[in-house]
Amino acid sequence: FPGQYYDPESGLHYNVFRHYDPETGRYASPDPLGLAPAPNPVTYVDNPHQWTDPLGLSPYKEDGGNAEVDPRKLDYLFNKDIKPNSHNSPRALQNELQLNRIRVPDTPEMRQYVTDHPTHSAQQRFGRTFTNEWPGGSGDFGVTESLLYGPHGALGVKSTWQILPDGGRRLSTVIFRGSGPGVSIHD
Q: CA-to-CA distance for 86 and 101, rounded, in angstroms?
A: 23
pLDDT at 82: 85
The residue ranges of every structural domain in the chain are 1-63, 66-187
Stated as kind and residue range, the H or E segment containing 88 is helix 88-101
65 pLDDT higher than 60: no
pLDDT at 76: 87
pLDDT at 143: 92
| Ordered strands of the 26-27 beta sheet | 5-7, 12-14, 19-21, 26-27
pLDDT at 11: 85
Q: Spell out where the chain has E strands.
A: 5-7, 12-14, 19-21, 26-27, 67-68, 128-134, 137-150, 153-163, 169-177
The overall pTM is greater than 0.85: no
149 pLDDT higher than 80: yes
Q: CA-to-CA distance for 142 and 118, rounded, in angstroms?
A: 13
| Chain mean pLDDT for the chain | 77
29 pLDDT higher than 60: yes
Q: Which of 180, 162, 164 is nearest to 172 (CA)?
A: 162
39 pLDDT higher than 80: no
| Ordered strands of the 137-150 beta sheet | 67-68, 169-177, 153-163, 137-150, 128-134
